[in-house]
Amino acid sequence: MKKSLLTASLLVMPLISMGWEFRGEVALEGRYFTQDSPYPEADYSTNGSAYLKPEIFHEWNDRDDLFTFIPYARVDENDSERTHWDIRELSWIHVGDGWESRVGIRKVFWGVTEGRHLVDIINQTDQVDQVDGEEKLGQPMINFSLVRNWGIVDLFILPGFRERTFAGEEGRPRTPLPVSDDALYESSKEDGRVDFAIRYQQYFSNGIEMALSHFSGTSRDPLLIPQNLTSAELQSLILTGVLPAGSDPEFTPLYNVIDQTGLELQYLQNGWLWKLEGISRSGQGERFYALDGGFEYTQVGLFGSATDLGWILEYIWEDRDDSLASPLASDVLLGTRFTFNDVASTEILAGIIYDTEEEEKAISFESSRRFGNNLKATLEARFYTDAADPLSPSALYRDALRNINTNPGLGPISRSDFVQAELVYYF
Amino acid sequence: MTFRLLTASLAFALAFPLHANAQTPEERGLEIARTADARGDGFGDFQADMRMVLITKRGDQAERELRVKTLEGKGDEGDKSLTIFDTPRDVRGTAMLTFSYKTKDDDQWLYLPALRRVKTIASRNKSGPFMGSEFSFEDMRGQEVEKYTYKYLRDEACGELTCYVMERYPTDEHSGYTKMVVWLDKAEYRTWKVDYYDRRGSLLKTLEASDFSQYQDKFWQPAKMSMVNHQTGKATDLFWSNYQYDTGLSEADFNQNSLKRAR
């Protein structure tokens, strides 16, 4: 043990001295679910989880070459699907005169709004990791970036598709049916299809920022199709309307090939930040459009204190057929952020997303503060109110057979309200 | 000879008061500010490391470390700067890109490494604390001549030197101050002390700079800056080190691409 530690430090020490940097974070998470699960397999009210994310950096050639390696691993007490690992980043960036090449596994974010990241499409969502969809899987890419006076152009070649992660049967929150590992692809190359993307962005000194992007490839959003029944089971379902005992119903993810054009616009004036994101996508049913637009405004030094109060108001809209619609098809987001500007960097963020059609509400509350120099604690709560109960597996299949597709809304995640505490240590 | 000396001194005696009378205290203040500003011109680019020590009323301390890279604006353009945060560790890798302007609000972007996201800073936060310290955002930014009006008060001894003492009034309505009293030494126009008066007109904070060194045979920089808040009893010390000029920075080091790999 001591010997191996010594060997390890002998190996690591010269690396550090040669411009290698090693750091990372480790976190513990505890969740308490305030309601009984609608699923017998996920019948628990507390869950513990932990993750480790080391980061290794190296730079050479006077910082014109940068190497990054960020593996990631999580263990979860109840959900074997949430116990997973990934390479978030393993990349080499080379900086040239007016250009950059970035090769390897990376994460790229596009977008300006807070409610729904419509334009952001390069990376697959690590859905099982975080329900807010902000965690992403590492994407293999060759990215060439050109910097000119008239803007920045990014070209992406994306070999290797990543399937979305989903909670397992024992997961909370989870999908009404477990999601099969055997995905269906429109492309005959399946997950081996090479996708392409391009983005142009420009900033103007009058406060306007804009970006135009186009993606051509396998959709990151799968359609979930109830499948995996034998013909006998299907017969029985058609005759009785109920899945026979012993059947093993599943969702099969279907990944279509799509073309998506995206627009990002931002306008800053007198402290008001106006934002708009819009997409047009073809290849998944009929061509559809979706928008997210609104503003952000910060009241500085509330009541003479050091506290800032930020406001976010956005409207999210989509003109897609109900059967394929996202739960965010006609929703309003109202968010407030208290930034205390204190030594501990205390913050409180509260948000509500209100579905103007289904009248469902998703309420989230997040607060964080630092302890000392290396420790950060967050407290988070998510509540879904006025959400219908999820459809039973039999009902899901009946609807699928009749080709009736109702907007699932928040149904699939109803009765999974939770409160979460997380402690992150940075090393 | 005597006659010529006499006429010369007469002419001088006549001219000098005339000159002094022609310049109002406001003009004198502006002239001093311009001279001080001009002495900082032509630096091209520089980089420096900063350690910030936050001290509570009880004496508890917290530290922050960051690095600053600045590129001087050409002609009428404002400076561009990149601030990279190293500690506390949860904000490590966060970077801020600032395009400053002489007569309008700065453009600022923040890179959040965990999300790989660049966010535009919308808030016109001038008076708010910078990283929880006693320095506000407006204290940390460049002090362009155009952003204030001035009034020369007096000459006064400051340590072994003689200082100009003048008042400075922010023209920006979002400033947290109504006035500042500034002590600059007459020899090198270095700012040794600033008293800040809040919006109610009472003394809020005092900044004292010390341990100046000269770089490139021209630019004076303090190694320590201490800000004391008289109203809360809290204080912040800034320790500057590793000042480097002419490091070869260019426009290419101050765009969204470079912000994302600033580290």
pLDDT digits (tens, 9 = 90+) for B105-138: 888 999 999 899 999 987 666 778 888 899 998 8
Cα–Cα dist B128/A308, whole Å? 8
Q: At CA B166, angle to CA B165 and CA B171, rounded to 5?
A: 155
Cα–Cα dist B17/B102, whole Å? 34
Query: Block means of pLDDT (10 residues each) for chain A, length 427 residues?
Result: 55 62 96 91 94 95 92 97 97 94 97 95 96 93 95 96 94 89 93 96 90 97 83 77 79 94 94 95 92 93 86 93 69 94 93 88 94 95 79 74 58 81 97
- Nearest CA-CA distance, residue B67 and chain A, Å: 15
Query: Taking a contact as any Cβ pair under 8 Å apart, which residues of chain A between 58 and 97 contact chain B?
Result: 59, 66, 93, 95, 97
Tokens matching residue B138: 């407006």
Identify the pLDDT of residue A405. 53
Tokens matching residue B109: 């972007």
Cβ–Cβ below 8 Å for B90 and A426: yes
Domains parsed from chain A with CATH numbers: 21-305 (2.40.160)
Cβ–Cβ below 8 Å for A298 and B56: no
- Nearest CA-CA distance, residue A135 and chain B, Å: 8
Comparing alpha-carbon positions, the chain B residue that sits nearest to A308 is B128
Tokens matching residue B29: 């203040």
Q: Which long-range contacts (CB under 8 A, 24 or more apart) does A330-334 make?
A: A330/A355, A330/A356, A330/A357, A331/A115, A331/A355, A331/A356, A332/A356, A333/A114, A333/A115, A333/A294
Task: Indicate whether this complex's ipTM tops 0.95.
Answer: no
Cα–Cα dist A78/A169, whole Å? 10
Identify the pLDDT of residue A261. 98
- Is B124's Cβ below 8 Å from some Cβ in A? yes
Identify the pLDDT of residue B74. 85
Residue that is written with structure tokens 């499409």 in the block: A121
Identify the pLDDT of residue B3. 47
B35-260: what CATH class?
mainly beta
Whether A295 and A313 have beta carbons less than 8 Å apart is answered as yes
Cβ–Cβ below 8 Å for B90 and A66: no
Q: Checking phi first, is residue A373 left (phi over 0); if not, alpha (psi -120 to 50) or beta? A: alpha
- C-alpha closest to that of B116 among A198, A337, A110: A110
Query: Which of chain A's residues have a Cβ under 8 Å away from the Cβ of B132?
Result: 341-345
DSSP codes joined into one string, A49-75: EEEEEEEEEEEETTTTEEEEEEEEEEE
Element of type H or E holding A261: strand A257-269
Identify the pLDDT of residue A114. 93
Whether A115 and A314 have beta carbons less than 8 Å apart is answered as yes
Backbone dihedral angles phi then psi of residue A15, each to the nearest 5 degrees = -65, -45
Identify the pLDDT of residue A416. 85
The residue ranges of every structural domain in chain B are: 35-260
- C-alpha closest to that of A385 among A363, A356, A357: A363
